[in-house]
């Protein structure tokens, strides 16, 4: 399953890339950032207090009940997101977000990792929660990626899941900006298929360091 994705540095503060003027290419902001499980993901959320979208850094992976340092779970199945105890409240309460992605990795059980490159930037569905942890002076904001059945391209791998990629028309519904029933919100989670997508084995870099994105401070959110 997906445990890593990439995005452009210039996207980390764009809350509506689908309709925004694309950032100019070149310079430091055009570098590619890599986001992994346990790292901070720049998540687009809707703030009902300000009635605006925000980009908030959240740890990828809910804290394990016995040890908050362990990320478990990291994925939520779309089919049961409204009934699984770990995710149902977040889904129903509008704690839903979007990560803008340039590529994402698929890691089947055993074998090589693969990089999937969609035809342009995409928005992957996440749900998030705030956790108050005794060992931490500040609340932990954590998120998990929503998954759906694999599309035609990914079915060539020994995996049956992929990230839930939102249609641009569904962004406002998923975030909670546009009023909708929970049935309609859940209907946003469907398998995306596009013949323009490509998939290649991941090339291991000899040495790579990931820069940190510039993203908003989540203190005081909700």
**Once rounded to an integer, what is the mean pLDDT over residues 73-92?**
97
Residue 180, in any domain of the structure: yes
Mean predicted confidence (pLDDT) in 121-145: 93
Does a structural domain hold residue 214?
A: no
Query: Is residue 207 one of the residues assigned to a domain?
Result: no
Tell whether the model's pLDDT for residue 220 goes beyond 60: no
Residue 33 has pLDDT above 70, yes or no: yes
What is the average pLDDT score of the chain? 86
Is 211 part of a structural domain of the chain? no
Q: Above 50 in pLDDT, residue 210?
A: no
pLDDT, tens digit (0-9, with 9 covering 90-100), for 50-78: 999 999 999 999 999 899 999 999 999 99
pLDDT recorded at residue 136: 83
Residue 6: band (very low, low, confident or very high) from pLDDT cuts 50, 70, 90: very high
| Separation between Cα atoms, residue 7 and residue 122, nearest integer Å | 10
HSE value, Cβ hemisphere, 13 Å, CA-based, for 101: 28
pLDDT confidence of residue 71:
92
3-state DSSP: the chain helix, strand, coil percent, rounded to 5?
15, 35, 50
Stretch 160-184: mean pLDDT, rounded? 95
**Is position 17 within any domain?**
yes
Residue 187 or 27, more confident: 187
Would you state the pLDDT for residue 56?
94
Domain around 136 = 4-201
Q: Does the CA dihedral 117-153-71-170 come out positive or negative?
A: positive
Alpha-carbon gap, residue 74 to 63, rounded angstroms: 9
> What confidence tier does 217 reach under pLDDT thresholds 50, 70, 90?
very low
CB atoms within 10 A of CB 162: 24
pLDDT at 108 > cutoff 50: yes
Q: Is residue 151 part of a domain?
A: yes
CATH for 29: 3.90.1680.10
Average the pLDDT over 86-102 and give the result.
96
220, part of any domain: no
Beta strands in 48-194 (DSSP E): 52-60, 63-64, 67-71, 75-77, 96-101, 103-106, 114-117, 122-131, 140-149, 161-163, 165-166
Q: For the residues 118-141, what does the mean pLDDT come to?
A: 92
Q: How many domains in the chain? A: 1
pLDDT for residue 219 is more than 70? no
Predicted local distance difference test score (pLDDT) of residue 189: 98
Does residue 26 form part of some domain?
A: yes
């Amino acid at each position: 399953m997906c445990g890593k994705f990439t995005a452009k540095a210039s996207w980390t503060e764009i809350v509506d890339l689908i309709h925004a003027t694309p950032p100019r290419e070149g310079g430091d902001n055009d570098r590619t950032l890599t986001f992994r499980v346990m790292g901070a993901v720049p998540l687009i959320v809707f703030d009902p207090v300000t009635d605006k979208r925000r980009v908030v850094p959240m740890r990828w992976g809910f804290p394990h009940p016995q040890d908050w340092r362990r990320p478990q779970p990291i994925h939520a199945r779309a089919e049961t997101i409204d009934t699984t105890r770990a995710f149902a409240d977040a889904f129903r309460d509008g704690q839903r977000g979007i990560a803008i992605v340039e590529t994402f990795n698929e890691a089947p059980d055993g074998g090589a990792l693969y990089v999937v490159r969609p035809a342009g930037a995409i928005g992957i569905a996440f749900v998030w929660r705030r956790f108050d942890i005794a060992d931490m002076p500040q609340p932990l904001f954590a998120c998990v990626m929503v998954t759906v059945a694999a599309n035609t391209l990914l079915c060539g791998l020994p995996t049956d899941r992929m990230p839930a990629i939102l249609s641009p028309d569904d962004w406002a519904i998923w975030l909670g900006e546009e009023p909708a029933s929970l049935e309609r919100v859940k209907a946003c989670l469907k398998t995306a298929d596009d013949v323009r997508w490509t998939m290649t084995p991941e090339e291991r870099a000899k040495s790579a360091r990931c820069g940190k994105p510039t993203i908003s401070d989540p203190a005081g959110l909700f």
